[in-house]
Structures are given as structure tokens and as C-alpha cells.
């Protein structure tokens, strides 16, 4: 989220693409309803399904899955045609919007109607409503991301916001609703195969920075890897790790995957559950550390070398958690670990000892900064506070320096002293925003509730766009224009990110030699904190002030382009808007694109499949299906089907049906009649597991641990298809065929 939930109450227009907060984030949705009530905000919902969120909308757009880019280009077509864009904003703060304008010109309402299925008058009505009510905020969730063009979708939405001048404004921004409680925090910590914590990447420089901060020798760390090269090679992902075992597609590492270690992950929430099952069966070792009987250990037919380790919930532990709006909240421990459960960190510490790297593992918690260098400063550590300090010391990229355990605890103790709409503190909390939303540049910084807002001083959370990609490209200036000066900044307009070399020149100051001597090379690795200090004194953010890039030269598509889903119901359009060529070595495995799309799947699989959540459940549903109350309210897996479609197959409400995927997987579920889906598509929730392709696996649960609700996993029939950049599965736009069971 660039803004925060309370800030949505400042919005005059709210447009939601592929998110259903009324069900998935009900308390977050309250802020949207308040915007409607108090601000008379217009609510627009763009979704393939008439969701509970859509039920509250002023304007609902039933879009064909996978066509968000044409729809947004259609909006931009009208915006540019009628001059509704914010010209001054674009000139000063956006790089190459003219490329977008050119592409948008092609997307006439008629053409958009053909591709998206949205009538021209609806597009015009929506665009007019959204463009003429400012500020407007744009929300999305997995409905926008889980596509083979998911990464382009997530670029398109900010571009729409940039065109209207809605980014970096109260009541504006792109507000992405994350799924789990700490997706934001775990993402920031880069529990991800392509980066070190804080989005530092996997370059040698980054590893060296972390080695230094962990108090370990870089060579030692390098020797832990198979080869030095593997240290810098992105690993397998949650989406396709199973190919590392099965090797049906070529893999790029010296060994297949033999051991899977699952610690807090309902792995049935990715597409191709049948493949996941096959991979689990072939493993040498499966370790599952969870509070509940994770279905990874259940859907497998593996008979040996499967372990389940009892792990606590977060209520039996302490630490910080980052909400969807980048605020950190401190969780106090409610009770001691139950039964024989161990906390997640205890499990890691125990095995680190066995694996022989415990001392290196925990040393970072006993370190501090002296003269700009990380050194060991004490002999013991206290969990989790010293881990929080370690993170604050190291992670500069997103500005976590200010997140000390003391401040976070103080915010929790005084959470009643913060305003809902502004997050501003009162009384002793004055001058700080609740949860110190990152970037929180220093231990005395306020936190930043609205990203990229140049209308407020940096010390109150203001900043420009990050100058991350140099100062010019093909002779064009990438830095912000003269009218994009951050309020109160001593530097006018744009400026580059600060380094030891340029800081004096950019800020027009002289820094004593003894300070220069201990200063890090640039703001991202400056442990001395001096760059941040001088930046704040000058009223500028350390990371520069640049233009946002509508045109990205490093991406497969320089500007977002429409490409049909791999399994498209419009084979005719796949010829005009084809997907990418197949991708070699994407996160260590080949991934197919065009070789799937070149076949007309819709002939045999004529029904569109889309998936989502139910209000009683979240994720793979493991937690809620083990609650008898929630499970009792939603006990059974089903498929939402329009009666008109059901009629064609002789299916009645409540009948059991088989759903078949192009990959040859099938599930048997109950048909639920609803008009929320149109007759060309069905909807599946993805929270269930425990039944695989009609086979009840309940005998595989440990005794007494069968959840109160089990069912077919919707993802068993979610199609093959992955994003070109992130490898997110295309679960939101697939094809299936159905028959009465």
C-alpha cells in the first residue's frame, strides 16, 4: 500500500481491481464504507465476479479475466482524449508517459468492449466518474496479480494513477491488499528466492554487506553454497518448486530437490496441486513445522521420512508484524507455548546448532555499529528485541532504521493515541504516525503514511519517487522536474540518490573529514547513519527524487502490453495479443508460455475458471478449518455456477460435478447456483484440502487431527501458467470443462 486504510476515507473515488475486501479484509473494507458515507466517494468494482464488495459498489464492471490492461488503456484512452490527465504532474513526475498515450490511443471503447466484454457505455461511465472525482485511490489484490501478465498489470494500475496525478496524494495512491497478517513483513525480509532481506538482491556487494552485518566472513558464507555462482542465482519458488523434484521441465541446479522444509505454509494454495502431490511423493524427506496438520503431510502418499513438528501460533510468541500499510505493530505474547510446541525461532536455533552454524546464525543480534562498522558489542542476546534491532541496523533500503523495539512497543501501549484517518499521534505520541509506516529513516523520524507525497516535509513523511535507475536514460533526464520540489526541501526539484561522493554537492554542505571517513558508500549501506541525518537536515529523502517510470527498459514489455491468458477463451485474440516466448531458466526451471497458448484449449475446455476466498477462511484454510465454528459455517467445498450454464449440462443446485483441467487433473465438488458468476465462467474457493481428485485422504491425517472441514483443493484444477517476471501462478484466468458426477 502506498497509503493506508484510514486514508481511504480521504478518497473521493475508489476503484478496485481484482480484490474483494468485503470478504477478505472486512475491517479494512469498513474504511471504504466510511469513505462512501462521510465523503460521498464513488465506489467502482472491476471483477469477473459479482462479489460482496461489488454489492456495495456504485458502478460494477464485469470484466473477462485477464483483460485488465485493455480496460485500463481504455480508461486512459478517454482520459487523454478529453484532457482529464494531470499534465503538470506528468511533466514533472513521470518518465515517458507519451509512450502510454500512444498505446492508449489504440484502445477505443469499441475495441476494449470486444476484448474485455465490458460495454462501451460502462467504460465511459466508469472513466468519467473516476477521473472527475479526485483524489481517487486504486486498490488491488490477487485478482490483478495472479496472471501470466500479472507484473504488467501491477505496472498498469500505477500508470493510470500517475496519469490522473493521484500518486503521492492523501486519498490517492495504489493500495494493495496483502493476504496474510505478515505478508508485508515477510516480503520486506525477503523470505524470497531472489533477494536478501530489504530487497538488497543477490549481488556480491549485497552478500558482502550482509556478511559484514552478520559478523561472518564472506568467504565462509560463499563456501556454504554449492558454488560461488549459486549464491547469486535465484532459487526455486513456491509456485514451481515441485518441478525441482519432478524435472518434467528442465531444471538449472546441480541436483534435484530432495528435501522440503515447510514452516508455516499451506502449500495447497498454489496451482497444480496434483503436481505438488506427485513431488511430495518423490521427496527423500519432508519436514513440516506447523501448529496444525498441514496438508503437505496429508495429501502425499509417502509412507516414510515425513515429520510434523508442533509449532506455536503467534499468540504464543512475541515480535513485530507489518500490516498491509507498512506499519509495524508489536505483538505481545498471550500465553506460553502449548503442548510440546516450539516457537519458529526456537526450531531454527535448534537445527542451526545441528547444522553447525548456530554461532554465525545468532551473532548479528549481538552486534552494533561503532565508527560506521558493525562489530560485536555483547555476548548474549534477547529474542525478539535484538533481532528487531539487527533488522533496524541493516535495512536502509526501505527505511527501517527507526523501527526500534522500544518505539514499536510504545506505539502498541499507546495505540489509543493515534488518529484513524491520518494515523497522527497525539500527546506523548505527537510527531509520529501509528506503527511508523516505512520508510522511517531514523530513530527520530515520524514514519511515512503516504508514499511519494511531496506536499509534506520529509520529516513528516514526505518524499519523491526513488531515484533508483540513474539520472538519465537515452539522454532523457530521469530526475523529477523543477515543480516537483519536496515541501521544505533545500534542494529544488529532482536530485539523485545520495552517496558519500555526491552528498556534499547535492545538499550544498561541507561534511567534516572524520565523518566522511566513517560514512558508508551510499545511503543503502551507510551504517553510520550520517547520510540520513544530513538528508533530513536538508529536508530531503536519502533515496533521491526522480520521475516514476511509465517506460521500463529492463522489463520484457517496456510499457505494459495486453497479452491473452495462456488458456484463453478467445483463441482469435491470442493471435493478435500473443503471450511471451517460452522462458528458459526462470527461477531455475524452464517455463512454458507460447507453447501452451498456441493450442485452442477452449474447444475442449470452454468454461472460464477463476478462484478466490470465502469470508470464513484465509489462504489454504488450515487455520480456520481447524476452528469448529468457522468450519461449521462453511463446511463444504463447492463451485459457483450460473443456473444457465448448469442447465446446459443437466446440473441442478447441489449436484456433484466433475471439473477437469487442461492438464488432466480433476476435482469433484458440489454445484452452487448463483448469478454472481456469468454463464461463461465458474468460481472456486481455494481454501480446502484433504480430498484429492475424488479421493478422500482423511486416513492420512495423524489421529485426532482431521480438520473440521476438508475438501477438494480448487488449485488442483487451476491451470498451468506463470508470470514472466515473478512466476506467480495464473490461477485467476484458466479454462476447465465440467460434467455431472
Partner 1 sequence: MSSLKELEKVKVGRRSFLKMAALSTALGATGLNAAPAVREATCDELKDPYPGSKKVKTICTTCSVGCGIIAEVYNGVWVRQEVAQDHPISHGSHCCKGIDSIDTVRTAKRVKHPLKKVNGKWQRISWDQAVNEISEKMLELRKKHGPDAAMFLGSAKMGTEQAYYFRKFAAMWGTNNIDHQARI
CA atoms of 300 and 262, how far apart (whole Å): 14
Of residues 7 through 26, those in contact with partner 1 by CB under 8 A are 24-26
Q: How far is the CB of 64 from partner 1 (least distance, A)?
A: 22
Nearer to partner 1, 198 or 560 (CB): 198
Q: Given candidates 109, 291, 529, 721, which one binds partner 1 under the rule CB under 8 A?
A: 291
Distances (CA, A) of 170 to 304, 351, 699: 56, 47, 54
Q: How far is the CB of 198 from partner 1 (least distance, A)?
A: 9
Q: How far is the CB of 68 from partner 1 (least distance, A)?
A: 18
Backbone region of residue 584 per phi and psi (left: phi > 0; alpha: psi in -120 to 50; beta: other values): beta
55 binds partner 1 (CB under 8 A): no
The DSSP bridge partners found for residue 729 are 722
**Binding segment toward partner 1, per CB under 8 A, in 71-79, 175-183, 446-454, 649-657:** 175-183
Q: Given candidates 384, 402, 520, 612, which one binds partner 1 under the rule CB under 8 A?
A: 384
CA atoms of 164 and 547, how far apart (whole Å): 15
**Binding segment toward partner 1, per CB under 8 A, in 51-59, 83-91, 180-188, 567-575:** 180-188
CA atoms of 248 and 312, how far apart (whole Å): 36
CA atoms of 629 and 84, how far apart (whole Å): 50
Q: Given candidates 14, 76, 138, 189, which one binds partner 1 under the rule CB under 8 A?
A: 189
Q: Check the CA dihedral 202-204-206-207 and report its sign.
A: positive
Q: How far is the CB of 214 from partner 1 (least distance, A)?
A: 7
Q: How far is the CB of 673 from partner 1 (least distance, A)?
A: 24
Q: Given candidates 342, 547, 660, 687, which one binds partner 1 under the rule CB under 8 A?
A: 342
Residue 304, Cβ density class (10 Å: 0-12 exposed, 13-18 middle, ≥19 buried): exposed
143 binds partner 1 (CB under 8 A): no
CA atoms of 405 and 121, how far apart (whole Å): 53
Contact 498, 544 (CB under 8 A): yes
What is the DSSP secondary structure assignment for residue 486, as one 8-state letter?
P
450 binds partner 1 (CB under 8 A): no
CA atoms of 509 and 526, how far apart (whole Å): 18
413 binds partner 1 (CB under 8 A): yes
Cell numbers describing residue 426: 497525539
Of residues 415 through 444, those in contact with partner 1 by CB under 8 A are 415-416, 418-420, 423, 434-435
Nearer to partner 1, 375 or 632 (CB): 632
Q: Which of 607, 618, 608 is nearest to 688 (CA)?
A: 618
Query: How do strand 94-95 and strand 548-549 relate by DSSP bridges?
Result: parallel
CA atoms of 180 and 160, how far apart (whole Å): 27
352 binds partner 1 (CB under 8 A): yes
Q: How far is the CB of 117 from partner 1 (least distance, A)?
A: 26
92 binds partner 1 (CB under 8 A): no
Q: How far is the CB of 723 from partner 1 (least distance, A)?
A: 10
Q: How far is the CB of 395 from partner 1 (least distance, A)?
A: 9
Query: How do strand 136-140 and strand 13-17 relate by DSSP bridges?
Result: parallel
Of residues 148 through 167, those in contact with partner 1 by CB under 8 A are none
Nearer to partner 1, 344 or 557 (CB): 344
Nearer to partner 1, 78 or 709 (CB): 709
Q: How far is the CB of 372 from partner 1 (least distance, A)?
A: 22
Of residues 488 through 527, those in contact with partner 1 by CB under 8 A are none
**Binding segment toward partner 1, per CB under 8 A, in 46-54, 355-363, 508-516, 592-600:** 355-363
Q: How far is the CB of 11 from partner 1 (least distance, A)?
A: 16
Helix (H) / strand (E) element for 307: namely strand 306-310
Q: Which of 536, 335, 324, 318 is nearest to 408 (CA)?
A: 318
CA atoms of 63 and 201, how far apart (whole Å): 36
Distances (CA, A) of 618 to 118, 466, 629, 631: 30, 34, 15, 12
CA atoms of 416 and 437, how far apart (whole Å): 17
Nearer to partner 1, 351 or 577 (CB): 351
**Binding segment toward partner 1, per CB under 8 A, in 228-236, 530-538, 594-602, 676-684:** 228-236
- DSSP string of 636-680, one letter each residue: S-EEEE-HHHHHHTT--TT-EEEEE-TTS-EEEEEEEE-SSS-TT
Of residues 591 through 650, those in contact with partner 1 by CB under 8 A are 615-619, 623-624, 626-630, 633
217 binds partner 1 (CB under 8 A): no
Q: Which string of x and - marks every residue 238-257 that binds partner 1 (by CB under 8 A)?
A: xx-x--x--------xxxxx
The DSSP bridge partners found for residue 210 are none
CA 344, chain centre distance (Å)? 23
Of residues 675 through 704, those in contact with partner 1 by CB under 8 A are 702-704
Q: How far is the CB of 391 from partner 1 (least distance, A)?
A: 5
204 binds partner 1 (CB under 8 A): no
733 binds partner 1 (CB under 8 A): no
Cell numbers describing residue 543: 533515496
R_g of the chain, CA atoms, integer Å: 26
Residue 670, Cβ density class (10 Å: 0-12 exposed, 13-18 middle, ≥19 buried): middle
Q: How far is the CB of 6 from partner 1 (least distance, A)?
A: 7
Of residues 308 through 337, those in contact with partner 1 by CB under 8 A are 308-311, 313-325, 327-336
Contact 689, 667 (CB under 8 A): no
* Size of the chain in residues: 741
Q: Given candidates 71, 292, 593, 720, which one binds partner 1 under the rule CB under 8 A?
A: 292
Contact 176, 139 (CB under 8 A): yes
Q: How far is the CB of 712 from partner 1 (least distance, A)?
A: 19
Backbone region of residue 685 per phi and psi (left: phi > 0; alpha: psi in -120 to 50; beta: other values): beta
Q: How far is the CB of 126 from partner 1 (least distance, A)?
A: 26
Nearer to partner 1, 418 or 495 (CB): 418
Size, binding site for partner 1 by CB under 8 A: 164
Q: Given candidates 81, 111, 208, 234, which one binds partner 1 under the rule CB under 8 A?
A: 234
399 binds partner 1 (CB under 8 A): no
Nearer to partner 1, 22 or 118 (CB): 22
Nearer to partner 1, 230 or 491 (CB): 230
Of residues 361 through 380, those in contact with partner 1 by CB under 8 A are 361, 364
**Binding segment toward partner 1, per CB under 8 A, in 58-66, 349-357, 561-569, 733-741:** 349-357
CA atoms of 564 and 576, how far apart (whole Å): 9
Contact 432, 447 (CB under 8 A): yes
CA atoms of 727 and 583, how far apart (whole Å): 11
293 binds partner 1 (CB under 8 A): yes
Amino acid at each position: 500500500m502506498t497509503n493506508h486504510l484510514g486514508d481511504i476515507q480521504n478518497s473521493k473515488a475508489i476503484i478496485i481491481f481484482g480484490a474483494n475486501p468485503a470478504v477478505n479484509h472486512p475491517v479494512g473494507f469498513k474504511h471504504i464504507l466510511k469513505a462512501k458515507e462521510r465523503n460521498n466517494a464513488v465506489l467502482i468494482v472491476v471483477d469477473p465476479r459479482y462479489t460482496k464488495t461489488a454489492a456495495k459498489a456504485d458502478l460494477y464492471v464485469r470484466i473477462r479475466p485477464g483483460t485488465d490492461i485493455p480496460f485500463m488503456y481504455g480508461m486512459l484512452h478517454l482520459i487523454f482524449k478529453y484532457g482529464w490527465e494531470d499534465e503538470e504532474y506528468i511533466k514533472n513526475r513521470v518518465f515517458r508517459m507519451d509512450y502510454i498515450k500512444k498505446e492508449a490511443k489504440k484502445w477505443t471503447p469499441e475495441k476494449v468492449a470486444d476484448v474485455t466484454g465490458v460495454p462501451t457505455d460502462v467504460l465511459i461511465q466508469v472513466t468519467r466518474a473516476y477521473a472527475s472525482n479526485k483524489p481517487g485511490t486504486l486498490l488491488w489484490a490477487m485478482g490483478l496479480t495472479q496472471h501470466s501478465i500479472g507484473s504488467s498489470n501491477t505496472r498498469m494500475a500505477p500508470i493510470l494513477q500517475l496519469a490522473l496525478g493521484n500518486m503521492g496524494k492523501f486519498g490517492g495512491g495504489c493500495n494493495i491488499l496483502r493476504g496474510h497478517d505478515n505478508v508485508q513483513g515477510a516480503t520486506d525480509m525477503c523470505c524470497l528466492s531472489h533477494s536478501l532481506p530489504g530487497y538488497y538482491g543477490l549481488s556480491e556487494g549485497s552478500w558482502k554487506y550482509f556478511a559484514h552485518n552478520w559478523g561472518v566472513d564472506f568467504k565462509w558464507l560463499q563456501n556454504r553454497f554449492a558454488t560461488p555462482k549459486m549464491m547469486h542465482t535465484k532459487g526455486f519458488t513456491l509456485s514451481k518448486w515441485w518441478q525441482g523434484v519432478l524435472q518434467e521441465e528442465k531444471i538449472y541446479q546441480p541436483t534435484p530437490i530432495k528435501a522440503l522444509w515447510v514452516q508455516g505454509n499451506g502449500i495447497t494454495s498454489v496451482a497444480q496441486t496434483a503436481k505438488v502431490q506427485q513431488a511430495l511423493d518423490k521427496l527423500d524427506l519432508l519436514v513440516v513445522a506447523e501448529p496444525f496438520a498441514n496438508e503437505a503431510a496429508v495429501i502425499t502418499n509417502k509412507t516414510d521420512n515425513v515429520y510434523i513438528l508442533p509449532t506455536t501460533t503467534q499468540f504464543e510468541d512475541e515480535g513485530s508484524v507489518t500490516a498491509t500499510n507498512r506499519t509495524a505493530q508489536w505483538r505481545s505474547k498471550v500465553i506460553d507455548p502449548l503442548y510440546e510446541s516450539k516457537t519458529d525461532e526456537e526450531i531454527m536455533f535448534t537445527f542451526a546448532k545441528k547444522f553447525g552454524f548456530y554461532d554465525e546464525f545468532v551473532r548479528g543480534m549481538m552486534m552494533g555499529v561503532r565508527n560506521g562498522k558493525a562489530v560485536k558489542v555483547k555476548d548474549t542476546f534477547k529474542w525478539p528485541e535484538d533481532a528487531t534491532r539487527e533488522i533496524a541496523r541493516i535495512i536502509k533500503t526501505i527505511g527501517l532504521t527507526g523501527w526500534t523495539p522500544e518505539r514499536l512497543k510504545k506505539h502498541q501501549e499507546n495505540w489509543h493515541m493515534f488518529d484513524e484517518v491520518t494515523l497522527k499521534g497525539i500527546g506523548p505520541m505527537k510527531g509520529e504516525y501509528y506503527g511508523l509506516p516505512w520508510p522511517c529513516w531514523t530513530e527520530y523520524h515520524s514514519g511515512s503514511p503516504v508514499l511519494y507525497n511531496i506536499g509534506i516535509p520529509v520529516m513528516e513523511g514526505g518524499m519523491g519517487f526513488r531515484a533508483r535507475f540513474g539520472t538519465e536514460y537515452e539522454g532523457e533526464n530521469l530526475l523529477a522536474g523543477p515543480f516537483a520540489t519536496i515541501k521544505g526541501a533545500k534542494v529544488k526539484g529532482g536530485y539523485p540518490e545520495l552517496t558519500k561522493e555526491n552528498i556534499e554537492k547535492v545538499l550544498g554542505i561541507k561534511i567534516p573529514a572524520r565523518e566522511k571517513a566513517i560514512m558508508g558508500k551510499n545511503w543503502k549501506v551507510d551504517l553510520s547513519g550520517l547520510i540520513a541525518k544530513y538528508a533530513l537536515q536538508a529536508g530531503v529523502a536519502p533515496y533521491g527524487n526522480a520521475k516514476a517510470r511509465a517506460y521500463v527498459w529492463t522489463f520484457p514489455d517496456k510499457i505494459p502490453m495486453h497479452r491473452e491468458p495462456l488458456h484463453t477463451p478467445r483463441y482469435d485474440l491470442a493471435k493478435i495479443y500473443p503471450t511471451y516466448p517460452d522462458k528458459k531458466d526462470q527461477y531455475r526451471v524452464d517455463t512454458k508460455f507460447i507453447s501452451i497458448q498456441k493450442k485452442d484449449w477452449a474447444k475442449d475446455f470452454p468454461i472460464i475458471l477463476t478462484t478466490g476466498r470465502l469470508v470464513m477462511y484465509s489462504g489454504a484454510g488450515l487455520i480456520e478449518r481447524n476452528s469448529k465454528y468457522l468450519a461449521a459455517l462453511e463446511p463444504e467445498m463447492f463451485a459457483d455456477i450460473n443456473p444457465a450454464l448448469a442447465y446446459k449440462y443437466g446440473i441442478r443446485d447441489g449436484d456433484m460435478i466433475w471439473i477437469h483441467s487442461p492438464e488432466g487433473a480433476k476435482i469433484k465438488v458440489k454445484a452452487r447456483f448463483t448469478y454472481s458468476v456469468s454463464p461463461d465462467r465458474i468460481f472456486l474457493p481455494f481454501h480446502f484440502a484433504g480430498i484429492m481428485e475424488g479421493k478422500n485422504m482423511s486416513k492420512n491425517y495423524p489421529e485426532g487431527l482431521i480438520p473440521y472441514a476438508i475438501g477438494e483443493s480448487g488449485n488442483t484444477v487451476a491451470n498451468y501458467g506463470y508470470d514472466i517476471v515473478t512466476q506467480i501462478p495464473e490461477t485467476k484466468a484458466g479454462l476447465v470443462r465440467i460434467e455431472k458426477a
